Amino acid sequence: MNAIADIAKMSRRADFPGLPEGWHYLDTAATAQKPQAVIDAIARAYGEDYATVHRGVYRRSADMTIAYEAARQRVARFVNARSSDEIVFVRGATEAINLVAQSWGVSTLKAGDRILLSQLEHHSNIVPWQLLRERTGIEIDVCPLTADGRIDLDAAEAMLTDRHRLVALAHVSNVLGSTLDARRAADLAHRVGAKILIDGCQAVPRMTVDVQALDCDFYVFSGHKLYGPTGIGALWARGELLDAMPPYQGGGSMIDRVTFAATSWAPPPQRFEAGTPNIVGALGLHAAIDYVDAIGLDAIEAHERALVAKARDALSAINSVRLFGPADSAGIVSFAIEGVHPHDIGTILDEEGVAIRAGHHCAQPLMDHLDLPATARASFGIYNDEDDVAALARGIERVTRIFG
């Protein structure tokens, strides 16, 4: 079967009620549309199944608690954690990274310790470490990129010293679509005694993630990029690290016993989940993982890479278009048109029924590296097909005609 036929067979557009006929949604890297199965799971959770968790002794509360903890177990299987106790539910990857910074970082790092980031990191994997630097006096180093937009692990190897305590890198760039050799990065970090945190937001929707095989120490992702609801995500961390980490928020559910004299903490993961959790979000995430796994992440990755190849071929045929990132980028194509601001590109494409992202993509240091204020970005999901690529190409041709 040729690539076009594979793409047509793979597209699951009919499963997504948010995609009307004639609208070409190419902003999945920002947030994915939701399949009906996820919407139905959320509706049931807020409707006939709704109750609180971990507190009630009545039957529905007990059933919801079982469902909530089943969602945690589902996430654990999804990333091949050793135990569901290694999964902390958070609002998203941003909160997960802040949790690590303010708990593990504050309790472990001191002035003079170093963290290694990369040039392509999302702001959520930069700013929390800067806040930690202000609080503790740590230092931050920045790994450069290769010519085709990958994190340069040869350079990282040369930069790492025994003063480095953490390496924090994106598994897949949200701008360039470049994929990190995460296992090699982990080996390099561990060689100097550092821990490694992997930002998996753009990886988990499109490739198999096995935290044990990657040998990382922390792995974070958001549910809404994985076809699930907003406001839910996960932090995976090695059990021994979670056991040693203090809570960074206080409230209900995360305690063992409270008196006015002192408080003792619940064990992980409850220690890090203060207050009433996003119960419905967790159940929606469970449904999203089931949906993705039923299709198969290997098939999803192949589907998106085929769409990327078609899009890059179509756009590279337009003389004024400049493409960024490697040819084998994972589901993402960033580009610029000579003499046209990305916001104008996005506006004209919207008139053509094509939705893309235009801006700095929460990666301003990367924009500085590219010497651009912003780029346009098309990103694909399991609902896209060659019609979306054709619509994108037609829209770009119209942009070039308008701007001469």
Structure tokens that stand for 230 in this block: 């907003």
Phi, psi of 115 (to 5 degrees): -120, 140
Which amino acid would we find at residue 211?
A: V
Q: Which neighbouring-strand residues pair with 138? A: none
**Active-site annotation holds for 362:** yes
Structure tokens that stand for 119 in this block: 């040039």
Q: How large is the angle between the packed helices 36-46 and 279-295, nearest 10 degrees?
A: 150
Structure tokens that stand for 337 in this block: 């048109």
DSSP line for 127-185: HHHHHHHHHH--EEEEE-B-TTS-B-HHHHHHH--TTEEEEEEESB-TTT--B--HHHH
Structure tokens that stand for 112 in this block: 């003079």
- In Å, how far are 54, 268, 293 from 61, measured between CA atoms? 8, 22, 28
Residue 17: asked if its preceding bond is cis (omega within 30°), the reply is no
Which of the following is catalytic: 143, 201, 216, 362? 362
Residues that are catalytic: 362
